[in-house]
Structure 1
Amino acid sequence: MRSVLLVVHAGRPDIRDLARHLIARLNEVGFEVRISPAEAADVAEGGELSTVSLLDGSETAKGSEMALVLGGDGTFLRAAEHARTAGIPLLGVNLGHVGFLAETEVDALDATVTAIVQGRYEVEERFTLQVTATLDGELIAEDWALNEASVEKSNREKLLEVAVSVDDRPLLRFGCDGVICATPTGSTAYAFSVGGPIVWPNVEAMLLVPNAAHALFQRPLVVAPDSQIEIELVGADQPGVLSCDGRRSHPLPPGTRLRVERSEQTVTIARPHPTPFGERLVAKFQLPVRSFRDGRSTT
C-alpha cells in the first residue's frame, strides 16, 4: 500500500477540517495516511481517526512516499526534520500568511491529490547547512538548517561582538545583535527581514547577513556554496545562542567558534504545480508589476 506522512498545524479549526477531508480523500484513492498520535487526537477533536496509522518519531516518515504538510512555513520546517532523515520529499499546502515553502494552495488540494496518485510531480532538491560549534577545541553543538542558522546575543543589554571569516580568511569584526547564515531557500525568511537579498532557490550560494551591526560595513554577502563561514564570539563576557530554522537552539559561551558549511544531506520538495519563482514572488509580496505612470504592464 502506498502511504504518505501527514503533518498538520492542528491549532486552527479550519486546518483540522481540511485534514479530515484530506485523510478521507487519500483513503478513497488507496493511500495509507500516517500521522503522529498527538496530531491525530487534535484533528479528531475528541472523536477517533480509525483510517490512519499512528506512528511516532522517525518511524512516522520511514517508508512513506512523501510528507504532506498543512500549515505555514513553521509547520513545513517541523515536517522537514522527519522528511530529511527519511529521505522523502515534502509537499506543503499553504495555510499560513506568506508560505514561501509551500508548493500548493488550499483551493488546488484535490488537483494535488490527483497529481500524487498519478505520480505527476517534479522533485526539487534544496541544499541545507551544517553547523558545528566548538569551545577550546571541544565540540559543544552540532545541527543543520534548511532556511538559516542564526547567531544571536543572549544578553539584551550588550552587543554581541563577533569575528567573521570565510574560507579561513578573516573578513569582518563588529558588534551586532546577531549574524544570519542562510540558504537560497531561506533568503525570503529571517535573512530577508534584516535586509538580506532574495535569491532564487535554484541558485547555489550561501548568504551572510549581519543583524543590526554596529559597523561602517554591514552589507549582506553572498558566498560560494562550498565555502566555509566561521563566526567567533570574541567578547569575553558576551554569550550567544545558535538558532537553526527558529526551531532548535543551543547556548554559546564566550569564545565559541561556529563553522557553517554546506551539508551533504539535502531536503527535497515535491512540486505538482510548478510555478516560476518570480511569479510566486509577485503573488506572495503583492509586488507592483504595472507602471504607476501609465498603467502599462512592465512584465
Structure 2
Amino acid sequence: MSDRPSPHRIGLVLHPTRDVRSVSEEVVRWARQEGAEVVVAAGDADRVADGVVEVAPDHLVEACSALVSLGGDGTMLGALRASAGTGVPVLGVNLGRVGVLVEVEPAELPGALQRILEGRFSVESRPALRVTGVDLDDGSPSAVAFNDVALSRCPGDGIASAALSIDGQGYGVYRCDAVIVATPMGSTAYSYAAGGPVVSPTLSAMVVAPASPWSGISRPVVLAPEDRLALELLPDSGVLALEVDGRVMAPLEPGMRVEVVEERDAGHVVRLDRALHDRRSRVKLSLLDLPLLPDELRELLPRELGRAED
C-alpha cells in the first residue's frame, strides 16, 4: 500500500512513433470520470485523445503526480530519465514487442489507474548510473542511465581498449567490442545479451560486462554501489561511441576517461503486482532465448488457441 497522496494530474510519456491514441483515450475517459487531469508535453496533443492539458516539455514532470509511459521498454526508460530525482512514479503500459520493464498490458490499464487513484499500489525505487568526464553532444555535463552505459566499437575504427579502475585503483584492461556498465534493472538488456548475470532489480550493484572480448578481462564483474568506476581509453583503442540507455551521446577517443557512479533512488516505478510482473518478465526473457520468430512461436500453441488468435 502506498502512502503517497492520490494523484490528480497524470502525465503521458509517448512512444515517439507508435500509435497511442486508443490507449490514451482510455486514460482520458477514466480521468473525466474521476475528476483527474491528463497532461502531455506540448507538441504531443495531436497524437492523443481530446481533453488533455499541454505543458512545456521541461515542465511535464513537475506538473504531475504520476507519469504513464505508453510504449515499450525504451519509452519507460525515457520516462524514468525525465523524472530522475523528482520522486514522481512511473507506470509502464506495454505497447512494445517485449516490455520487460513495464507493469501492465493495455487491457489492464483502467483497473491500474483506479488503483493508483485510490493509493493501492507500491513504489519501487531504482538506481541510475551518472556518467561524467566527457563533453556530451547535447552540451550537458553528465547523463543518467537506468539500464546501461556502453563504450561501443564503431565499425572500421578498431576495438575498444580500456583500462578499468575502481576508486582510483587499477583493476585491469578490456579489449572487446564494447564495455557495458549496467544497473540491476538493466542487467536483462545489453549486459544480458553479452553474457552478464541477471541481477534482481531490488539490489544495489553495478555490472561491468565485455561484449565479444578479445583479451584482458573476459568475464563480467559485479561492483558495490559505493564503488567509483572509471574507464580510460588506451592509446591502441579505436574511436568509440558513448551510449547511454542506447542513445549515442558522444564520440570517445584514445586518452579520454569516462567516470560512472551509482545514484540510489533516482527513479520510482509503480508496482501493482510484483509477483505477476516478475513471472511475465521471466517468460519474456526465456522466449527471447528461443531461436524462433513470433509467428513460429504460435505454431507451438494448441490448435484451438491458434485459431482464436486469427
With over 3 angstroms needed to count, the CA separation of the structure-2 counterparts of 1:81 and 1:233, relative to structure 1, is same
Misfit runs of 4+, over 6 Å: none
CA contact (8 A) 2:41 2:56 kept: yes
What is aligned with 1:19? 24
TM-superposed CA distance for 1:158, in Å, is: 1.2
Are 2:71 and 1:71 aligned?
Answer: yes
User: What letter matches 1:71 in structure 2?
Assistant: G
TM-superposed CA distance for 1:260, in Å, is: 0.9
- Per the normalisation by structure 1, the TM-score is 0.85
Counterpart Cα distance in 1 of 2:40 and 2:201: 29
With over 3 angstroms needed to count, the CA separation of the structure-2 counterparts of 1:42 and 1:63, relative to structure 1, is closer
CA contact (8 A) 2:14 2:75 kept: yes
- Per the normalisation by structure 2, the TM-score is 0.83
Counterpart Cα distance in 2 of 1:85 and 1:40: 26
Q: Secondary structure at the match of 1:38?
A: coil
Greater shift, 109-118 or 170-179, is seen at 170-179
Counterpart Cα distance in 1 of 2:220 and 2:146: 19
What is aligned with 1:28? 33
What is aligned with 2:300? none
Matches within 5 A, 1:111-130: 111-130=111-130
TM-superposed CA distance for 1:81, in Å, is: 2.6
Q: Secondary structure at the match of 1:61?
A: coil
TM-superposed CA distance for 1:85, in Å, is: 5.0
Counterpart Cα distance in 1 of 2:250 and 2:112: 38
Counterpart Cα distance in 2 of 1:129 and 1:196: 17
RMSD of aligned alpha carbons: 2.3
Counterpart Cα distance in 2 of 1:194 and 1:182: 11
Counterpart Cα distance in 2 of 1:237 and 1:284: 36
Are 2:133 and 1:133 aligned?
Answer: yes
What is aligned with 1:105? 105
Counterpart Cα distance in 1 of 2:206 and 2:163: 18
TM-superposed CA distance for 1:8, in Å, is: 1.8
How many correspondences in the alignment? Answer: 278
What is aligned with 1:82? 82
What is aligned with 1:55? 55
Counterpart Cα distance in 1 of 2:127 and 2:189: 16
Q: Secondary structure at the match of 1:80?
A: helix
With over 3 angstroms needed to count, the CA separation of the structure-2 counterparts of 1:270 and 1:180, relative to structure 1, is same
With over 3 angstroms needed to count, the CA separation of the structure-2 counterparts of 1:101 and 1:218, relative to structure 1, is same
Counterpart Cα distance in 2 of 1:167 and 1:104: 40
Counterpart Cα distance in 1 of 2:63 and 2:140: 33
What is aligned with 2:268? 268
List runs of 5+ in structure 1 lacking aligned partners: 288-299
